[in-house]
Amino acid sequence: MQRYGGIEAGGTKFVCAVGNPAGELTARVEFATTSPEETLERAAAFFREEGTRHSLDAIGIGSFGPVDLNPRSPTYGYITSTPKPGWANTEFAGAIERATGLKVGFDTDVNAAALGEARWGAARGLDTFLYFTVGTGFGGGGMAHGRLLHGLIHPEMGHIRVPRDAARDPYAGACPFHGDCLEGLVCGPAIEGRWGGRGETLPDDHPAWDLEARYLALAMVNFICTLSPQRLILGGGVMRRGHLFPPIRRQVCALLNGYIRAPELIECIEEYIVPPALGDDAGVLGAIALGERAARGTA
């Protein structure tokens, strides 16, 4: 059976794994994201070692960004303008390719997770859907007509604007670029900045969650109206608070006010706005699915 490597590259940690076309992980390691040189070498060493046990067919990378996804660009496969210290303008895909001798597929972390959900999870059989992660930041990826969303660069759904009622929520927002963009209002650091306590420590009935559900519902409505996705998958550390799903679903329906006549939105909203079926493995399994595509030459 084929075996592929996958790297879920986050600003805090890297997850490297080996998996097969059935979506089973056969090896996995996690380590902190330090300097680019040290971190990429550690990832490459893991795959070289795994490759001596059983050969690998390709590696996929789902990376934090922004990244360059234009195959004609001289900086294709680079992390470009990230504020993460030391990581701006870092060659990633090419460095892993040279260090392992394997073909490499490369995309954003959220597009990778979306692909994983399409291959083995909550988006199987769908061709137009979105995947979001709400955690340290807010990221969105997905597919339209069966193709991962790219474009000018790639979507940056976390930085859309949603209305903020400054009387109800005087917090100015956590985004270093925009203040109260969506990410600046809903990410983990925003919850902590606004309420003075980490999200994990706030009880289910804390007013933080009403506000969080409100902003996320406003964002979901914008994305529903923009792309007409067949499903919305919401993952990430903040969404592990499963009690957020019912108020988000309720408010999405209320905000749409019956305008979009799809049974998915009216009769089965519980199956329309869902957590990732792959749970915390969506990202690394998605990276493995990117490796599978690279091996087939369909990246």
16 or 185: CB nearest Zn ion: 185
176 or 263: CB nearest Zn ion: 176
- Which stretch, 54-62, 159-167, 206-214, 224-232, contacts Zn ion (CB under 5 A)? 159-167
161 binds Zn ion (CB under 5 A): no
Nearest Cα to Cα of residue 173 among 133, 142, 215, 205: 215
- Which residues neighbour 60 within 8 Å (Cβ) at sequence distance 6 or greater? 4, 5, 6, 7, 104, 105, 106, 107, 112, 286, 287, 288, 289, 290, 291, 292, 293, 294
Residues in region 169-208 near Zn ion by CB under 5 A: 175, 177-178, 181
Report the C-alpha gap between 166 and 289 in whole angstroms: 43
- Which stretch, 12-20, 45-53, 124-132, 156-164, contacts Zn ion (CB under 5 A)? 156-164
Min dist CB 258 to Zn ion, Å, is: 31
Min dist CB 177 to Zn ion, Å, is: 5
Min dist CB 175 to Zn ion, Å, is: 3
What is the sign of the dihedral through the CA atoms of 162, 174, 68 and 237?
negative
Min dist CB 66 to Zn ion, Å, is: 12
Min dist CB 9 to Zn ion, Å, is: 21
Min dist CB 139 to Zn ion, Å, is: 12
What tokens were used for 37? Answer: 């040189």
- Which stretch, 153-161, 230-238, 269-277, 289-297, contacts Zn ion (CB under 5 A)? 153-161
10 or 173: CB nearest Zn ion: 173
| The only residue of 42, 159, 161, 206 in contact with Zn ion, by rule CB under 5 A | 159
Size of the site for Zn ion (CB under 5 A): 5
> Is 163 in contact with 266 (CB distance < 8 Å)?
no
> Is 217 in contact with 247 (CB distance < 8 Å)?
yes
48 or 159: CB nearest Zn ion: 159
Min dist CB 107 to Zn ion, Å, is: 21
Min dist CB 183 to Zn ion, Å, is: 5
5 or 188: CB nearest Zn ion: 188
162 or 220: CB nearest Zn ion: 162
48 or 178: CB nearest Zn ion: 178
Amino acid at 147: R
CA 62 to centroid of chain Cα atoms: 9
Specify the pairing of strand 78-79 against strand 13-19. Answer: unpaired
79 or 190: CB nearest Zn ion: 190
Interface contacts to Zn ion, rule CB under 5 A: 159, 175, 177-178, 181
